[in-house]
Amino acid sequence: MKLPETFIYNPQGSNIYRMFNTKSKELIGEMIAYPNINRQLEIAELNIFRQKRQGYGTQFLNFAKKLSQTLGYQGNMSVIAGTTPFDPLNPAHIFYRKYGFTSDNKKIIKKIDKSIKKGKQLNHYTTPAIKMYYPDTTCHKLSFYKKIKNFLDKKFYVNL
């Protein structure tokens, strides 16, 4: 039996998922993910330690999508896209957007789409971290509830 090139390991039911290369026996990356109150799989961290742009991040997202489906969340996921200590000059926004994530922050989404179209990286100084959702329809549903919550917060805010 031939082993796959990579496999994802979850130590004893924790929220940490590690990807290993079966040939080199190296740790490739790590993802921390857990269910959130919006019935989504929240990806708290996704870090590839070496060999970026080899499809490992996409493998993690595919795994997370299946995990979300297993939990009964229909593949819904969310993440806060920004810079990481592992790759501070390259914000992850483009990676998530190409996978199909979107955000309530339409100004930044437009900026991301423009960068993708031009084949350019985002400026890490001027691109803030944003909450992103998968699939696209999740964003619109949450946006409506978020607007109501924001309205109520402003209307009934009490400064203690």
pLDDT of 35-48, one tens digit each? 998 899 999 999 88
pLDDT score recorded for residue 132: 93
Task: Output 12 or 113, whichever has higher pLDDT.
Answer: 113
pLDDT score recorded for residue 160: 40
Burial label for 114, CB within 10 Å (0-12, 13-18, 19+), is exposed
> Which segments of the chain are extended strands (E)?
6-9, 16-21, 27-35, 41-48, 77-81, 130-134
Rounded average pLDDT over 44-66: 88
The dotted CATH code for 6-155 is 3.40.630.30
| 70-114 tens-digit pLDDT | 999 999 999 998 866 556 677 888 899 999 999 998 999 999 999
**pLDDT at residue 50 greater than cutoff 60:** yes
Burial readout 126-136 (b: 16 or more C-beta within 10 A, e: otherwise): ebeebbbbbee
What does DSSP say about strands 27-35 and 16-21: parallel, antiparallel, or unpaired? antiparallel
pLDDT score recorded for residue 142: 53
Instruction: Give the number of other CB atoms < 10 A from CB of residue 75.
Output: 17
- H-helix or E-strand spanning residue 21: strand 16-21
Angle subtended at Cα 66 by Cα 62 and Cα 69, rounded to the nearest 5 degrees: 140
Structure token digits, residue 55: 């499809």
Q: How far apart are CA 18 and CA 30, in angstroms?
A: 4
Q: How far apart are CA 133 and CA 100, in angstroms?
A: 8
Task: Quickly state the pLDDT bin for 18 (edges 50, 70, 90).
Answer: very high
| 107-159 tens-digit pLDDT | 999 999 999 999 888 877 778 889 999 986 645 455 566 667 666 666 665 44
pLDDT score recorded for residue 159: 45
For the whole model, what pTM was predicted? 0.79
